[in-house]
């Protein structure tokens, strides 16, 4: 009897899926709360199962991120991954990232799991980084980094600048806001840090735009910061938000501009366009 973890973001459907796997002769642990993402990954590392089954029907990109997290951890990367269900286009995006995982519809999950257990990948594909799942849109384009920009990275994760590939020419990175800064990316790890510093950061922006980034609920870095808190803090600091984006597998971000610079741009007929 193999010990299997099923990650399914619908508790009711997850229970049905777990029942199907148990009928196939497996011991199943169901993880069905997206808010428990970091804890789920810790449990997988602390007590690795024989296989991980991930449903892609609900929250498919979070399912993808869970698979990436399994593969990027040395303690879990040898565990067979079985992705089940999901829309064809979204499944294909996951398959491009993790081609040696097993993919199956729910009616065939028993046979798919059996095959994965019998023949686990000998040399598992390990995504180059947690950014790999977002390679469809280059990060500089997503952030709005343009040629000759001075970009301030505030409290950025270790080696984050090295992960921003395909840069336009002439881009310069700094670790603080300068008069010539055109774009700032601030990584916030706690609500206390956000509320205590947002006023000073906003006051130093000038004409620059600001990404305020916070850890995703599914990240091991998850904290007491969320999108609502970031938006509220930004508005209270006289900023205007106009785009939300997934920065990578660990971080989400809101893009802000100074309310004064936004009003000035509108008076002069300058339309702001968010990056994609």
Residue ranges of alpha helices (H) inside 53-132 are 60-72, 88-97, 109-118
Check for a shared fold between 3-127 and 133-267.
yes
Share of the chain above pLDDT 90, in %: 61
Q: Is the pLDDT of residue 274 over 50?
A: no
Please tell me which residue, 59 or 146, carries the higher pLDDT value. Answer: 146
Which of 17-21, 30-34, 221-225 is predicted with the least confidence, judged by mean pLDDT? 30-34
> Does the pLDDT value for residue 220 go beyond 70?
yes
DSSP code of residue 156: P
Domain coordinates in residue numbering, the chain: 3-127, 133-267
Phi and psi for 168 in degrees, rounded to 5?
A: -65, 160
**Helix crossing, 60-72 with 37-46: angle to 10°?**
30
Supply the mean pLDDT for the chain: 87
Q: If pLDDT is split at 50, 70 and 90, which confidence band does 49 have?
A: very high
pLDDT of residue 166: 73
Which tens digit of pLDDT belongs to each residue from 61-103? 778 888 988 998 889 999 999 999 999 988 998 998 899 999 9
pTM of the model: 0.53
Instruction: Write out pLDDT tens, residues 107-133.
Output: 999 999 999 999 998 899 988 655 455
Domain over 133-267 is classified CATH 3.40.50.150: yes
Distance CA 165, CA 105 (A): 35
**For position 160, what pLDDT does the model report?**
78
More confident residue, 261 or 201: 201
pLDDT at 95: 92
Would the pLDDT of 267 be above 70?
no
How confident is residue 135, by pLDDT bands cut at 50, 70 and 90?
very low
Strand partners, 213: 187, 253
> Thinking of the domain 3-127, which architecture would CATH place it in?
3-Layer(aba) Sandwich (3.40)
Q: Which of 210, 215, 212 is nearest to 177 (CA)?
A: 210
Q: What is the pLDDT, as a whole number, of residue 35?
A: 60
185 has a pLDDT exceeding 60: yes
């Amino acid at each position: 009897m193999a010990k299997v973890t099923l990650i399914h973001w619908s508790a009711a459907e997850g229970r049905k899926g777990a029942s199907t796997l148990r009928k196939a002769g497996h011991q199943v642990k169901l993880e069905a709360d997206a808010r428990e993402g970091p804890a789920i990954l810790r449990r997988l590392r602390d007590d690795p199962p024989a296989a991980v089954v991930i449903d892609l029907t609900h929250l498919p990109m979070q399912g993808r991120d869970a698979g990436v997290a399994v593969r990027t951890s040395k303690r879990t990367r040898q565990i067979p991954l079985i992705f089940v269900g999901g829309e064809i286009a979204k499944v294909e995006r996951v398959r491009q990232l993790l081609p040696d995982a097993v993919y199956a519809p729910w009616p065939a999950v028993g046979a798919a799991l059996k095959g994965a257990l019998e023949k686990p990948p000998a040399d598992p594909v390990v995504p180059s980084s947690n950014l790999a799942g977002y390679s469809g849109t280059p990060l500089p384009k997503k952030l709005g980094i343009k040629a000759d920009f001075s970009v301030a990275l505030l409290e950025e994760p270790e080696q984050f600048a090295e992960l921003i590939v395909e840069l336009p020419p002439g881009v310069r990175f700094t670790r603080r806001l300068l008069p010539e800064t055109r774009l700032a990316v601030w990584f916030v790890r706690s609500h206390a840090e956000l509320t205590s510093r947002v006023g000073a950061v906003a006051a130093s922006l000038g004409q620059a735009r600001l990404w305020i980034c916070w850890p995703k609920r599914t990240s091991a870095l998850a904290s007491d910061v969320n999108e609502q808190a970031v938006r509220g803090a930004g508005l209270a600091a006289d900023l205007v938000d106009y785009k939300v984006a997934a920065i990578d597998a660990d971080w989400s971000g809101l893009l802000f501009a100074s309310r004064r610079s936004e009003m000035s741009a509108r008076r002069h007929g300058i339309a702001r366009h968010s990056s994609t």
